[in-house]
Structure formats: C-alpha cells, structure tokens
Chains A and B, each alone.
Chain A
Amino acid sequence: MTNVKMKVNGKAVAREVPDETLLSEFLRENLRLTGTHIGCDTSQCGACVVHVNGKVVKACTTLAVSLEGAEITTIEGLANGDLHPMQVAFNDNHGLQCGFCTPGMIMAGVDMVTRYKAEGRELTPEAIRQELEGNICRCTGYHNIVKSIQDAATRM
C-alpha cells in the first residue's frame, strides 16, 4: 500500500491504495470519478484516456502510484461552468450514439486540437482520423466524431 498524492481536476487528492492500482481504478473506485470508462482493459480502445501533466495517457495502462505529484484532468474536469467547446461540438454534431467511448474521444480531441494549434499545423480530417488511432467507437462509424473535432477546433 502507498499513499498516492496527485492533483485531479485542480484538486489535491491523497488515497492509500495497493501498488498495483491502475490510474483508471484509482479514478473510478477511489475518487468515484466514473466518467473515465474502462472499455477493453487491454490498452486498445481509448475509453479511459485522460490527461496526465497535459498529455493523453491510457489510464488503464498506468499505475496510480507512478504518478505521485502529477496533474490529472478527466472528463469531469473539462467543463468550467459551461461545457467545454469540444463537448458542445460533440453535442451539436451528433458525435456520439451510446456515449461509452465519448469521454476518451473528447479528451483525445482536446489534446489533438491543442497540440496542432501549438505547433501551427492544420488539423485536417485525415490528421484527425490518424490521431484517433487509439480510440475505438463501435456505434458512429467515426464520421460525426471527426466533424465534431473539426468543429471544436474552430471554437477553441
């Protein structure tokens, strides 16, 4: 057991957990932040994607204990009173059906828009599809997810 301390969605948290606790379990079971979904548990589907120190990471393939002092943002931490522009864009463009993969899609979307803007690169639909390599959706066929992220890029 280790007392793991980190900052989650701007709030300092500390929990005594077994060393084998995955970040996804830490968020869902210890902090009750159940917006981070566990889809495949084999690092393929991306439903558990969160931001760790500003970078996308698969929470199901990271030990919580290894993130001592890290800053984590989950889907719950994205809206600031109003919904985040990425969330609004997914709503407006019907970028989800069952919604299970959506938290990961939105966290990945925010990351790619932020990164491409910082690097001064154009986020084309082809680039969005490439960037979504690690996020699987079984409902939408991806078209509206790509549209949502493109739309959000103009609002962010």
Chain B
Amino acid sequence: MYPVKYHKPDTIDDAVAALAAGNEALVLAGGQTLLATMKQHLASPGDLVDIRGIKGMVGIRTESDTLIIGAATTHAEVAGSDVVRKHCPGLAALANGIGDRAVRNMGTIGGSLANNDPAACYPAAMLALGATIVTNTRQISADDYFQGMFTTALDEGEIITAVHVEKPAKAAYAKFAQAASLFALVGVFVADGPHGVRVTVTGAGEDGVFRHEGLEAALSSSWSAEALDGVEVSEEGLNSDMHGSADYRAHLIKVMAKRAVAAA
C-alpha cells in the first residue's frame, strides 16, 4: 500500500475539513472494499478520513414508522438488530448475506452506498424501499442517488451520515451469489411499501442497480410468485461475463424475484 495519512475526527465538521485539506482524501467507513483496492494500488488517497469516531454515525433507531441507520453501522449490526428485524426483516436478512462474518463485522452500510458497486446488495434494498440517503448537507431520495456503476449523487467531500427507511408492508431479497466473491451474480429485492410495489435488480445490469417495470407491474396487480410467470425479462442491458451470460442473468432475475416474493 502507498503511504497514507490517517485522520479520525470527532465531528462531521472536522471530517469535512480534513477531506478538503487532504491530498485526494477519501472517507474510510469500514474499509472492506477501499483497503483492498488500496493494496492493489487501484486507489491511492494521500489521506484517509475515518468517520467511525463521529458521534451519531453508528446506531439503529426508529422515529414513528421510519428506520434510521447510522452510516457507519456495520452489516453485522444491521443483521443482528431486533429493531431492523421488526421493521423490515428482509433488510436484516440481506445484511446477513453480505460477504462473510469477518467482513460483516467491519463493512458499513454508508460505505457500501457511497461505493455503489454494481453487484452490491444494499443499493437494491434502498431503491426498492424508496429510502432516503442523508448526508452532511442534504437528503437524497434513492431514486436520485444511484447514477450508474460506482457513481452516485454525492458531491466531492459530501459524507453520508444515515439512511432513512419507511416501514414496508412486505419486503424481501433473494440473491444468487457469485461463489467466490459472494457478491450478487443476480440479486432481486421486492417491496410493497409507502412508495408502492417495487422490484429492483443488482448484479445483473451493465449500469448497476435498476428497477424492473414489467415485474413491478405484474406484482402490483397480484402479489404472488405465479403472477411473475408471464413476465418477459429481456437480456438487453445485462452483463455478460465469465460468471454468467446475459440470458442466464435474465433467467435468474425472474427466479430470484419469485423467491423473494415467496420469502416476503
């Protein structure tokens, strides 16, 4: 790894200042992707700003029907939280399927969302649940937040502080994991929530997470796995690589959607 200067500010203001003053500074939230890419010299920030020491960054609570998860909350904490399990069991189950136990103990929801890996699990949940991404300067709807693979609405120096998730009536996630990386070869999140019926797909799209209109329309008229039988899932715009062809991924989208509906 190239030399780096580490900062651990106590406040969001100090974090913003450290990011601005640093040399190509990056936020360190859990490091399970960032440190790995730094070791491979794919990222070489001069400064790292660790946000885990900032008050309020870690923790899970509800305010009336809204679940609030601090950005530096780990996947293991989300998976094991009684509050999350009660509010949206599908989200807790999703967190429990990210990587392995050791990775879940360090990786954070804010880190995953800021990175927006096209095969990550959390983006599918946030988009399907119509979540709000809260930063140090504003609130961004998930609809506006995800802007293609590894691309988000975040400005330079903007830091995610929390996510807000309204309680859905039903929600679940089904993932066909790529066996070595445990990322989604295809992951589908289905939700019947305050933002209507939504079906989102991760791992399959050439441009990252997306909503599938055909599956949404079918589920809106009848919430059942059988309702999806007649839906055509096109392979257009889907990834084709050594792990799976586009038509295989298209097939998996429907299978995972049906499994998710059955689990919801």
Residues of A with Cβ closer than 8 Å to B? 2, 18-20, 22, 41-44, 46, 49, 52, 55-58, 60-63, 65-66, 68, 108, 111-112, 131, 133-135
- B36 interface hit (Cβ, 8 Å): yes
Chain B, range 112-158, C-beta contacts under 8 Å to A: none
Beyond A134-B100, A134-B102, whether A2 also contacts B39 by CB under 8 A is no
Among B3, B101, B103, the residue within 8 A (CB) of A20 is B3
Provide the residues of chain B in CB contact with A133, threshold 8 Å: 99-101, 182
* 10 residue pairs A–B, Cβ–Cβ below 8 Å: A20-B2, A22-B35, A22-B39, A41-B39, A42-B36, A56-B101, A56-B105, A61-B32, A61-B106, A68-B8
The answer to whether B102 touches A57 (Cβ under 8 A) is: yes
The closest CB in chain A to the CB of B47 belongs to A19
Provide the residues of chain A in CB contact with B1, threshold 8 Å: 20, 22
The answer to whether B101 touches A108 (Cβ under 8 A) is: yes
- B244 interface hit (Cβ, 8 Å): no
- B193 interface hit (Cβ, 8 Å): no
Chain B, range 82-100, C-beta contacts under 8 Å to A: 99-100
The closest CB in chain A to the CB of B50 belongs to A66
The answer to whether B105 touches A55 (Cβ under 8 A) is: yes
The answer to whether A46 touches B100 (Cβ under 8 A) is: yes
Provide the residues of chain B in CB contact with A55, threshold 8 Å: 76, 105
- B61 interface hit (Cβ, 8 Å): no
Bound: A63/B101 CA distance, A: 18
Q: How many residues of B contact A (CB 8 A)?
A: 29
Chain B, range 4-50, C-beta contacts under 8 Å to A: 4-6, 8, 28, 31-32, 35-36, 38-40, 48, 50
Number of A-B contacts (CB under 8 A): 77
Bound: A30/B41 CA distance, A: 23
The answer to whether B3 touches A18 (Cβ under 8 A) is: yes
Bound: A66/B182 CA distance, A: 26
The answer to whether B32 touches A43 (Cβ under 8 A) is: yes
For residue A2, give the distance in angstroms from its CB to the closest CB of chain B: 7
The answer to whether A58 touches B103 (Cβ under 8 A) is: yes
- B242 interface hit (Cβ, 8 Å): no
Provide the residues of chain A in CB contact with B5, threshold 8 Å: 19
Provide the residues of chain B in CB contact with A20, threshold 8 Å: 1-4, 38
Among B3, B76, B103, B105, the residue within 8 A (CB) of A43 is B103
The answer to whether B182 touches A2 (Cβ under 8 A) is: no
Bound: A66/B181 CA distance, A: 25
The answer to whether A62 touches B3 (Cβ under 8 A) is: no
Bound: A49/B216 CA distance, A: 42
The answer to whether B36 touches A61 (Cβ under 8 A) is: yes
The answer to whether A111 touches B180 (Cβ under 8 A) is: no
Provide the residues of chain A in CB contact with B52, threshold 8 Å: 66
Provide the residues of chain B in CB contact with A42, threshold 8 Å: 36, 39-40
Bound: A142/B99 CA distance, A: 19
Add 5 more A-B contacts to A43-B36, A61-B103 (CB < 8 A).
A57-B105, A61-B31, A61-B32, A63-B35, A108-B101
For residue B50, give the distance in angstroms from its CB to the closest CB of chain A: 6
The answer to whether B102 touches A49 (Cβ under 8 A) is: yes
Provide the residues of chain A in CB contact with B103, threshold 8 Å: 43, 58, 61, 134
Among A41, A46, A52, A62, the residue within 8 A (CB) of B31 is A62
Bound: A46/B4 CA distance, A: 25
For residue A72, give the distance in angstroms from its CB to the closest CB of chain B: 13
Provide the residues of chain A in CB contact with B4, threshold 8 Å: 19-20
Among B3, B32, B36, the residue within 8 A (CB) of A19 is B3
The closest CB in chain B to the CB of A66 belongs to B50
For residue B105, give the distance in angstroms from its CB to the closest CB of chain A: 5
Provide the residues of chain B in CB contact with A111, threshold 8 Å: 101
Among A61, A66, A134, the residue within 8 A (CB) of B101 is A134
Provide the residues of chain A in CB contact with B181, threshold 8 Å: 44
